[in-house]
Amino acid sequence: MIAFSGELFAISSLQLPSEYFTILKRRALMKSYVVSILLLLGLYQGGNLETSLVTNQGSEINLATILFLSQTLILSLVCIPAKYSDSILKVGQARTKSFAIMAILCVFVLLIVTSVVLQNTAEFRAGNRYLLESLWLSASFLLIVSTLQILPRYGFDSAARPEFWWLRMSIVFAPALIYWFNHLAVFLIPSLWIIGSLTIIIPNLIEQDATSPSNQRLSFLIVVSLVILMLTANTTNMLSNFILLGGVILITSALIVNGLER
């Protein structure tokens, strides 16, 4: 899975004509899909998702596996479709507005979804400690994003939309980085998957000279996201069930983007 993610990272990072990567992209995506499905089945059948991800007792391998799975899904279902999404964007009228709206949504989704996921655990169900932890996790991610947004100013701006590209890279790698300091970083995954799906939709929706997706498709994405959040929130282990079902949100956004015309 790590090797396939490396291929996907190279494809999403190198700014070369798409025909150079057509075969490599197709093969890397197929391998990533198969491995991700097998991994999810293995985690579910082996009961590994039922272990406590808060106490972190005997679940280090499970946590590492979930983090690598998240990286693979974001690379294959967000970063790869984003190359096509960014390529059909034009000059960028209201480009600053689209990123400002994305930043506001990012903060909102981070705080709300992470708080809900933490509160759903037995360890944080009582009291308000889940709010403190969600604030720390959200602040950690936003600090990483803010730091990386400085890089385009120093020449790291080869992508069509470097501000969105660095945001997506933050979604890919930030949970693993934050995990070095806080083992609760895995609880950021539900909010980051939703934010990742929005990063490939918002520019085409807000920028005035872009091809916007239909309202029906956007409504479908919103409904899918809310339904999965509500279904998993009503279970005893929201995070584990979201990991099983949350990929549908990423798949939906990828299909919406791939359906856009140049």
Q: Given 3-state DSSP classes, what are the helix, strand and coil percentages for the chain, each rounded to the nearest 5? A: 75, 0, 25
Predicted TM-score (pTM) of the model is 0.89
Which long-range contacts (C-beta less than 8 Å, at least 24 apart) are formed by 111-117?
111/135, 111/138, 112/191, 113/190, 113/191, 113/194, 113/229, 114/138, 114/187, 114/188, 114/190, 114/191, 116/229, 116/233, 116/238, 117/187, 117/190, 117/191, 117/238, 117/239, 117/242
For residue range 171-228, list pLDDT tens digits in order. 999 999 999 888 889 999 999 999 999 998 888 888 766 666 767 778 888 899 999 9
Domain ranges of the chain: 2-258
> Tens digits of per-residue pLDDT, 27-69?
878 888 888 888 888 877 766 666 667 766 556 777 888 888 8
Q: How far is CA 185 from the centre of its chain?
A: 13
